[in-house]
Amino acid sequence: MKTNKRLYLLSCFLLVLIISCTNEKLSPDRFKTGSFEIPAEKGYSVTQIERIDSLQIERYEKRVDTLIIHWESPFKYTLKMLHPKTALDKDPIHVKITDIKKDSYDFEATIGDSNYKQKGTLTKTTN
């Protein structure tokens, strides 16, 4: 009887161990490269994004912008225009990831030292 009980407890322990090892952690690292999209919202059109190494290429409203992306931590990064066209384009964009889901994350972005925060969701479309 004791052998059956031990075998049962061992089986339960192994099952829990296997399930916990296969549970994928939601890490922001998978958003550092690939193709992404920010959906259209009030006042903004859809933005298509491609991240390669330290570059982020954005396509929206027949425009293409190239930005340098610098990851400060797994949940914070800064974007700077590679070729700024206006004074506002020269200010860095500080982005903080506020929530992670399977294929997307929510963020807050601030331009320069402004107190205005833009909130949005970025969705990964391909690796």
From CA 101, how far away is CA 41, in angstroms rounded?
20
Reported as a single tens digit per residue, the pLDDT across 68-123 is: 999 999 999 999 999 999 998 999 999 999 999 999 999 999 999 999 999 999 99
Confidence of residue 3 (pLDDT cuts 50, 70, 90): low
Tokens found for residue 18: 């296997």
Q: Which amino acid is at 87?
A: A
pTM above 0.75, yes or no: yes
Q: Determine, yes or no, domain membership for 19.
A: no
Q: Determine, yes or no, domain membership for 68.
A: yes
Q: Determine, yes or no, domain membership for 79.
A: yes
* The pLDDT of residue 19: 47
Domain that holds residue 120: 26-126
DSSP H helices in the chain: 2-22
Residue 9: pLDDT above 80?
Answer: no
CA nearest neighbour of 106 among 116, 117, 91:
117
From CA 122, how far away is CA 37, in angstroms rounded?
6
* The pLDDT of residue 42: 82
* The pLDDT of residue 72: 96
Q: What CATH code is carried by the domain that includes residue 36?
A: 2.40.128.20
